């Protein structure tokens, strides 16, 4: 693909990163004389209408977002029959962002981010997510590798490949599971309805990782990570980093509530509270009684007294729900084997989310099971 020109003007120069669904290149726009990034749909998916639609959906969704902390989309197109084997080349032209991803920063530094620096990053991610949510968009794959950090501290939110928005949502199969295991909200894993609070949960995982140096649930397999997100309470931050104020821990733990109703309603309030506690103030949206507390999701129990509304992921009977989760975990394990086979390559200065890959839906179940589609099963 190197030295190929797309759209009559975008000359590919260097591969920056690749995954199961696409490759990102640095390119030169010969018309406007500037560096750009080009995301190309993987050749083996070019003949799949669903993946082609999903790929172009990213350009449509992100192309309508105009924010200083969100990557800018310039163009989208198709080169018919221009591939090495005569397949179409589907591509998105976007802003070339200098710097490194938060994931690369964490790997290079091998230490948690100082609280003051984390507050600056969190503020910008929160602004970007709040803006996207206000436009009716849900990112659904917020994670460090989708956040670029420039040398001057500027943050850019990348890769809206899993975004859900209004009339575009029909391109996501009903009951599908989308995301990256280490950052998925419980309702994403269980195939329940997902809204902006799923992004809040993933945002909370990112903050946790910035402050601790690792995600809350470090397990050996994607299936174990998925189970932990649904059932296990996250380890308190102060167990690993005692210097953090209790109010900081409380804010992050609220974001990591298993139930969407227990989280911040949006990314803006989360970022605002984090900004306050990072400077020694008390949070606005976390009561004093909640400092350091989080409630793990429990299996359904018989109602006593006035019942509380059931969580979205728990509307089935216990047996069917547990069967559903087992089947989902099996699918995650199968995906891990596929991911190992595909052997993802390293990332360059301009990173991209490792795109989604399909898993065949298990058969012979008592109720419909999700089609598990994970962006990066290697991020456990």
Residue 277 pLDDT greater than 90, yes or no: yes
Q: Which listed residue (29, 103, 127, 141) is catalytic? A: 141
Distance CA 4, CA 258 (A): 47
The position carrying tokens 């797309």 is 6
List, in sequence order, every residue forming a beta bridge with 372; answer none if it has no partner. Answer: 177
Q: Is 141 known to be catalytic?
A: yes
% of the chain at pLDDT higher than 90: 48
List, in sequence order, every residue forming a beta bridge with 36; answer none if it has no partner. Answer: 27, 95
Q: Closest by alpha carbon to 250, among 228, 220, 270?
A: 270
Query: Within a 13 Å sphere around the CA of 25, how many CA atoms are in the beta-carbon half?
Result: 21
Structure tokens at 298: 């429990």
Give the per-residue pLDDT at 289: 42
Class of domain 5-95: alpha beta
Q: What is the pLDDT of residues 126-153, one digit of tens each?
A: 999 999 999 998 998 899 999 999 999 9
Residue 302 pLDDT greater than 60, yes or no: no
Residue 92 pLDDT greater than 70, yes or no: yes
Q: How far is CA 130 from CA 4, 20, 84, 138, in A?
A: 38, 29, 41, 10
Q: What is the pLDDT of residues 54-72, one digit of tens each?
A: 888 778 878 889 999 999 9
Strands of the chain (E only): list them: 5-6, 10-18, 22-29, 34-41, 73-79, 89-95, 100-101, 147-149, 155-157, 177-179, 357-358, 372-374
Q: What pTM was estimated for this model as a whole?
A: 0.75
CB 374 within 8 A of CB 222: yes
With 0-12 CB in 10 A as exposed, 13-18 as middle and 19+ as buried, what is 170? exposed
Locate the domains of the chain by residue range.
5-95, 100-374
pLDDT range class, residue 361, cuts 50, 70, 90: very low
Q: Closest by alpha carbon to 146, among 240, 62, 222?
A: 62
Residue 264 pLDDT greater than 60, yes or no: yes
Q: Closest by alpha carbon to 69, among 175, 133, 147, 6?
A: 147
Mean pLDDT (whole number) for 3-14: 90
CATH of segment(s) 100-374: 1.10.510.10
């Amino acid at each position: 693909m190197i030295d190929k020109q797309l759209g009559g003007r975008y000359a590919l120069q260097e591969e920056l990163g690749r995954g199961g669904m696409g490759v990102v290149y640095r390119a030169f726009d010969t018309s406007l004389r500037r560096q750009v990034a080009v995301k190309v749909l993987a050749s083996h998916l070019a003949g799949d209408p669903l993946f082609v639609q999903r790929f172009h959906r990213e350009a449509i969704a992100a192309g309508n977002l105009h924010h200083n902390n969100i990557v800018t989309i310039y163009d989208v197109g198709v080169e018919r029959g221009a591939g090495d084997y005569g397949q179409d080349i589907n591509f998105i032209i976007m802003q070339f962002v200098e710097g490194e991803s938060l994931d690369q920063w964490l790997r290079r530094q091998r230490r948690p981010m100082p609280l003051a620096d984390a507050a600056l990053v969190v503020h910008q991610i929160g602004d970007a997510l709040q803006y996207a949510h206000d436009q009716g968009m849900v990112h659904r794959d917020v994670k460090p590798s989708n956040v670029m950090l420039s040398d001057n501290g500027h943050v850019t939110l990348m890769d809206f490949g899993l975004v859900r928005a209004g009339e575009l949502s029909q391109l996501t199969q009903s009951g599908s599971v989308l995301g990256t295991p280490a950052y998925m909200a419980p309702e994403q894993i269980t195939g329940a309805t997902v809204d902006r609070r799923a992004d809040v949960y993933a945002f909370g995982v990112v903050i946790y990782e910035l402050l601790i140096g690792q995600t809350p649930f470090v397990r050996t397999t994607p299936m174990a990570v998925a189970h932990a997100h649904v059932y296990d309470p996250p380890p308190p931050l102060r167990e690993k980093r005692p210097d953090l104020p209790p109010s900081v821990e409380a804010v992050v733990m609220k974001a990591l509530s298993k139930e969407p109703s227990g989280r911040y309603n949006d990314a803006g309030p989360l970022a605002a509270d984090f900004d306050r506690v990072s400077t020694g103030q008390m949070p606005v949206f976390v009561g004093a009684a909640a400092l350091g507390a989080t409630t793990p999701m429990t299996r359904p129990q018989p109602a006593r007294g006035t019942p509380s509304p059931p969580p979205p992921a728990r509307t089935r009977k216990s047996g069917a729900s547990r069967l559903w989760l087992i089947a989902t975990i099996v699918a995650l394990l199968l995906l891990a084997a596929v991911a190992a086979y595909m052997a993802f390559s390293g990332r360059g200065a301009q990173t991209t989310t490792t795109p989604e890959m399909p898993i065949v839906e298990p058969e012979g179940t008592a109720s419909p099971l999700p089609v598990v589609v994970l962006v990066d099963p290697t991020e456990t």
